Structure formats: C-alpha cells, structure tokens
C-alpha cells in the first residue's frame, strides 16, 4: 500500500524577493506539502506518536522561513524540501510553493519539487536525498 499525508494552503510568512525593498517586509507564501509515509502503524494505534503531526510540518517550514531572507521561491522550496525530508518515516515528498500576486496580473507563480528520500525507511538527517 502506498500512502501519504498532506497539508494544503499553508500560509508561511517569509522575507522573500529579488529586490532588497521587497525583502524588508514579510510576504505570505502559500505552500502545499505531500509526504510519502506508511500510515498503517498510525492507523492501527490511532496515536499521534505514530503519525506525522501536521503541526510539525508547519513548524519545520516556519523555521526555514525564519532562518534567513530568500531572493527566490526556488531557494525556499529546496530548503523546505530538505528540512521536511528529515522527518522520521518520510520516504518521498512533494512541495509546491506559490508567491501570490506575482507577476502583476497573475494570481501567483511558484515552483513544485518532488523528492525521493532514500535510506533506512525514512528521512533521518544522514540519508541521501535524490532529486
């Protein structure tokens, strides 16, 4: 069985923009995340300890956003993907990051990344991620 958990339309405030002026204020990025995980253990125990906690996904991405200023959505998406890959049990992931209102006249633009996490059944920090 293949399974995943997802978080949609997560709002992440981030200092992001090509110009220095744009980075003086926080822009709200819209992020969708899908994490490939085995949900059977969590389903059997019905315990959050055996599941990927959605709050952890949010907190990981908030931490990435707070870590520095970004010029490009691509940079945030790659750093976000790498950070999410470190969550125990994650075997693959997809992250979609949208910057609303860019370019002018558009609802938004962004980037989507898919990543396989290889190793001992999940995303511990010492495992290699393949793009």
Predicted confidence (pLDDT) per residue in 85-125, tens digit: 999 999 999 999 999 999 999 999 999 999 999 763 444 44
What pLDDT shows up at residue 120? 38
Terminal C-alpha separation, the chain? 23
* Cβ-contact 76, 98 below 8 angstroms: no
Task: Give the count of beta carbons closer than 10 Å to the beta carbon of residue 67.
Answer: 12
What pLDDT shows up at residue 124? 43
What pLDDT shows up at residue 126? 40
CATH number at residue 113: 3.30.1130.10
User: What pTM does this model have?
Assistant: 0.88
108, β-bridge pairs: 100
Overall domain count for the chain:
1
Task: For residue 131, tell me if it sits in a domain.
Answer: no
Phi, psi at residue 116, to the nearest 5°?
Answer: -95, 135
Domain that holds residue 116: 4-124
Q: CA–CA separation, 51 vs 5, rounded Å?
A: 9
């Amino acid at each position: 069985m293949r399974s995943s958990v997802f978080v949609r339309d997560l709002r992440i405030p981030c200092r992001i923009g090509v110009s220095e002026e744009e980075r003086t204020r926080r822009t709200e990025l819209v992020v969708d995340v899908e994490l490939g995980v085995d949900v059977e253990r969590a389903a059997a125990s019905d315990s959050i300890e055996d599941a990927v906690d959605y709050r952890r996904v949010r907190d990981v991405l908030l931490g990435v956003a707070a870590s520095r200023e970004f010029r490009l959505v691509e940079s945030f998406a790659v750093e976000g993907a790498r950070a999410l890959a470190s969550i125990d049990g994650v075997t693959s992931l997809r992250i979609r990051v949208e910057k609303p209102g860019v370019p002018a006249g558009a609802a938004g633009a962004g980037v989507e990344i898919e990543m396989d996490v290889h190793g001992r059944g999940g995303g511990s920090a010492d495992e290699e991620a393949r793009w």
